[in-house]
Structure 1
Amino acid sequence: MTANAHSTSGSPRRRGDSYDNIEPWFDKLAGLEPDDPHRAQVREEIIGLCLPLADNIARRFAGRGVEHEDLYQVACLGLLGAVDRFDPQHGSSFLGYAVPTIMGEVRRHFRDHSWAVRVPRGVKETHLKVGGAVESLTHRLGRVPRPSEIAAELGIDRGEVTQALVAANAYRSDSLDTPAFTEDGDNHNPVLARVGAVDSAYGLLEDAITVRPLLEALPAQERQVLVWRFSEEASQSEIAARLGVSQMHVSRMLTRIFTTLREQALADPTPATDTVDHAPGTRAA
């Protein structure tokens, strides 16, 4: 049986989304011998009843770079595996077994097949967890969560979250020849138009190279304050509490650090000591 046998225009035929009475079907299936001709019919009936479950799970992963029809087919594969492996004798409900089984199949598809470029497996798995955490936190907080909040929700390092968010750009790659359209309807190719242009990121890289040794030369406490403020996103009041000082003291400390770094970064480099080239065979006086 294929998933489309119970679908219309790519959507499964719905008989209601309640699965309260699905276990008796499995009892009936278990009571039939493997060579019983009725066994295939009962299996088909179970699958047809549960196709809406596969569709619902596929829709939960919408908007992540994969077409719904593809996700639905993958979810149906997970459903077939759940139907064939479910054992009603274990006492658990089919729904409780099928949902994680189908979702696992969809997640594996994202991990193994939906990336336009090669991304480490661990990053792919973290990316899938981040997607669920972002959705949950957004509903809970009423806003898009910060990377530090996502990391706390998942119990992982903030750097892993950042890496997973950046890796999301690897889901799809657009062709340089893909046309785009202006508001007037004229088509052009903005990607090709930008090829060879000056990348502003180079300026950021130069700034980072310049500032890094200056940061390393700061006193340990000042470096720690910068880590708390910009890496851990702590407020000035939180930093003040950690140091046992006032918030105003922290504010002045940050101002002083920024001023020092700016002056050092913009200062003219110290001229190198002049050297004199001597002719071969001679020595300096």
Structure 2
Amino acid sequence: MRTHAASKRHSHHDAPDTAARFRRLAGMAEGPERDALRQELVNAWLPMADRLAGRFRNRGEALEDLRQVAALGLVKAVSRYDPAHGTAFESFAVPTITGEIKRHFRDHMWTLHVPRRVQDLRNRVRTARQELAQTSISRSPTIAEIAERAGMTEEEAKAGLEALDSFSALSLDAELPGAGDGYSLQDSLGGPDAALDVVIDREAVRPALRRLPEREKKILYMRFFRDMTQSSIAEDLGISQMHVSRLITRCCTRLRDQAMLDQRDRVRPLKDAA
């Protein structure tokens, strides 16, 4: 016949029996004595926290750092646990510590913010691949096999596989695979296109250009679109080069002032509406 004490078992054979100490902690006021008892309980359950941290090894984070995060979760569990609820401390502490470790991965290990759903898919895909690797399959599992193993759609499996390779960002200074000559990712990126500014300027002065006299239009066309010199324009029109220079300066000033005025007229209604 089993005794009451023998029937009380923990999920870990070395889990400490701290129920009495937790009841005493719950009835103590804040102070040095309560802090000492809380630290005693943390030390007693620290091996469990280390075991939970070990489940997350080989995921890009040092085991010692994971143990520190698990210890932080244990401290929170000890501080928040209320024995009056009737739940064993271990049942309360395990999800608290595990959640703290997962939060650490989510908040500190990803270079870029990734939606939590995609992170969950990544974890499920990684687990499925590891399980399939332990079977008789001697090749890389297909997307369909991973999806079936993980209980997800193939589209979700693809998203999880992409996330597996997106845990950290590639430096722009990193040499591209197979380059061999120092060619980096940054070298393949484009730069600002000065022609875009020209397009904006042309569109800004188009209405004012239409209102210019025909001779001024022709002079500007010959100078800026046909790239003719002022002396060539003067000879073609039968006027002096000095006159051509004055006309170009006057037209450009008029176009600039009109473009600025049009811009102010477009901005003013937006300010009034705000």
TM-score, normalised on structure 2?
0.52
- Contact 1:79/1:102 (CA < 8 Å) preserved in 2? yes
Aligned equivalent of 1:50, options 23, 45, 51: 45
Q: Which amino acid aligns with 1:170?
A: S
2:155 aligns with: 159
Percent of matched pairs sharing the same residue: 38
**Letter matched to residue 21 of structure 2:** W
Q: Note if 1:22 corresponds to 2:6.
A: no
Matches within 5 A, 1:61-210: 61-136=56-131, 138=133, 141=135, 143=137, 146-173=142-169, 175=171, 193=182, 195=184
Mark the CA change 1:72 to 1:178 in structure 2 (over 3 Å): closer, same or farther: farther
- How many residue pairs get matched? 171
Once the 2 structures are TM-superposed, how far is the Cα of residue 130 of structure 1 from its aligned partner?
Answer: 3.0
> Residue 126 of structure 1 contacts residue 161 of structure 1 at CA under 8 Å; is this kept in 2?
yes
Q: List gaps (5 residues or longer) in structure 1.
A: 1-15, 180-188, 197-285
Q: Residues 20 and 48 from structure 1, CA distance in 2 versus in 1: closer, same or farther, beyond 3 angstroms? A: closer
Distance change (3 Å), C-alpha of 1:53 and 1:44: same
Instruction: Report the CA distance shift for 1:146/1:77 in structure 2 as closer, same or farther (over 3 A).
Output: farther
| Residue in 2 that maps onto 1:212 | none
User: What is the deviation of 1:45?
Assistant: 0.5
CA distance in 1, matches of 2:95, 2:44: 18
Contact 1:176 1:192 in 2 (8 A): no
Cα distance change on mapping 1:145 and 1:49 into 2, 3 Å: farther
Within 1, Cα distance between the matches of 2:100 and 2:58? 17
What is the root-mean-square deviation of aligned Cα atoms in Å?
Answer: 3.2
- Distance across 1 between alignment mates of 2:181 and 2:18: 56
Q: For the Cα contact (< 8 Å) 1:177–1:192, is it kept in 2? A: no
- What CA distance in whole angstroms lies between the structure 2 residues aligned with 1:42 and 1:78? 17
Contact 1:116 1:173 in 2 (8 A): yes
**1:115 corresponds to which letter in structure 2?**
W
CA distance in 2, matches of 1:136, 1:61: 16
3-state DSSP of counterpart to 1:170: coil
Given the superposition, is the C-alpha separation of residues 129 and 22 from structure 1 closer, same or farther in structure 2, using an over 3 Å criterion? farther
Q: Shift of residue 21 of structure 1?
A: 0.8
Q: In the TM superposition, what is the alpha-carbon distance from 1:153 to its structure 2 partner?
A: 4.2
Task: Name the counterpart of 1:282.
Answer: none
Higher Cα Rg, which structure: 2
TM-score (normalised: structure 1): 0.51
- Determine if contact 2:174/2:184 at 8 Å carries over to the other structure: no
Letter in 2 for 1:96: S
* Matched residue, 2:219: none
Taking a change above 3 Å as real, the CA distance of residues 35 and 96 of structure 1, as seen in their structure-2 partners, is closer
Please say if residues 173 and 184 of structure 2, whose CA atoms lie closer than 8 Å, have aligned partners that are also in contact.
Answer: no
1: distance between equivalents of 2:22 and 2:51? 22
Contact kept? 1:58, 1:75, Cα under 8 Å: yes
- Please tell me the residue identity of whatever aligns with 1:101: T
Paired letter, 1:76: A
Is the CA contact 1:58–1:72 (under 8 Å) kept in the aligned structure 2? yes
Deviations 1:48-94 (Å, cap 9, x if unpaired)? 11112222111211111112222222212211121112222222222
| C-alpha spacing 1:191/1:58, structure 2 compared with 1 (3 Å) | farther
User: CA-to-partner distance for each residue in 1:185-221, whole Å, 9 max, x for gaps?
Assistant: xxxx97764648xxxxxxxxxxxxxxxxxxxxxxxxx
Q: What does the per-residue CA deviation read over 1:14-43, in whole Å, with 9 as the maximum and x for residues that have no partner?
A: xx972141322212211x322343211110
1:83-139 Cα deviation digits (max 9, x unpaired): 112222222222222112111111122122211234333211221233344445555
Indicate if the aligned counterparts of 1:55 and 1:72 stay in contact, CA closer than 8 A: yes
